[in-house]
Amino acid sequence: MNRKAILRSLGRVVLWMFIHIVRVLPFPVALAVGRGLGKLMCAVSRKRYRVALKNLQIAYGHELTPARRDTVARQSFVHFGMFAVECIKFAYMDQQEALRRIRTEGFEHLQNVMAEGKGCLLLSGHLGNFEIGARVVTAAGYELIALARETRDPGTTDLMQQIRTRMGIKVITINQSLRPVLEGLKRNAVVAIICDQNAADVFVPFFGRPTGTVAGPARLALKTGAPIVTYSCTRDGRGGYRFYFQEPYRPRPSGNPSADVAEVTAAINLRLEELIRQTPEQWLWFHDRWRSSPGVCHNDP
């Protein structure tokens, strides 16, 4: 077994232990552990911290002072430490408690498009806790399918899928055939996709800059006619979570496929940007979002 395989196996064991420790901790204690984990990540991953500062400079320019950029960058790490423990806690939480902790706003938008019978593309980014809202969607009786990337270690992928399955999510990995997704939409399922990471599919505005963006959701919407609903599920500052749905977006093909894909992807980016601006400290700033974008300086700030 080579060194990378050993490290992946060790990581899987650590993740398994982490899940079983967190699941028995009281919720406030688990969140405190998450905050500590996030601070540790920020301290040891200085490269990622610099990426976060660079991204905040790209996105906000002079809207934020250097001190504010530093604060948001650090809070982003803390947020994702909390995200990790929240996913575990909500996976093992009974339905009544989970629903009590999540306040919905605009849920009628999802209900209305589901009444049309074409299924729905439920889109978000790495913002807030984009997974725990599954408890609300499945409690309402909707089938929920999520597209997810496999990790490099199959055992780790299995552990993560077990957590998602406990929240009622049917996981389809991105490298699989799209047939299960198309069949799900025909059954009037909700298909959840996180679509805010760097890609070179199409370059459309995001925070005012041409940004390499994945085009899959736009192509899927144009192909199937499924409406798009964008959402966020963020901490509300009072110990709960706000699960917020924006108004539906219904792509209309014009007969020019490339132009249609660009238009729909730009509309999705604009909606995600609006959500991120509401709670910027709960977004994944330390992902190199603008890595493929033309005209962006990639030197450390």
pLDDT digits (tens, 9 = 90+) for 9-33: 788 888 899 999 999 999 999 999 9
Whole-angstrom distance, CA of residue 100 vs CA of residue 96: 6
The overall longest dimension of the chain from CA atoms, in Å, is 55
For residues 296 and 71, which has the higher predicted lDDT (pLDDT)? 71
Residue-wise pLDDT tens digits, 191-213? 999 999 999 999 999 999 999 99
Compute the average pLDDT of residues 216-235.
97
Place of tokens 């005012």: 208
Tokens 């040891």 sit at which residue?
44
pLDDT classification of 296: cutoffs 50, 70, 90: low
Return the pLDDT at 175. Answer: 72
In whole angstroms, give the CA distance from residue 159 to residue 12: 8
How many angstroms separate the CA atoms of 63 and 280, rounded? 13
Query: pLDDT band at residue 99, thresholds of 50, 70 and 90?
Result: very high
Q: Please check the confidence at residue 285 and state whether its pLDDT lies above 90.
A: yes
Query: How far lies 164's CA from each of 90, 111, 189, in Å?
Result: 10, 22, 16
Report CA 264 to chain centroid distance, whole Å: 19
- How much is the pTM? 0.93
> How far is it, in rounded angstroms, from Cα 31 to Cα 48?
22
User: So what's the pLDDT on residue 220?
Assistant: 96
Is pLDDT of 297 > 70? no
Average pLDDT of the segment spanning 258-287: 98
pLDDT of residue 174: 76
- 220 residue type, one letter: L
pLDDT tier at 150, thresholds 50, 70, 90: confident
> Does position 1 have pLDDT exceeding 70, yes or no?
no
Burial 190-205, CB ≥16 within 10 A → b, else e: bbbbbbbbebebbbbe
- Section 272-293 average pLDDT: 96
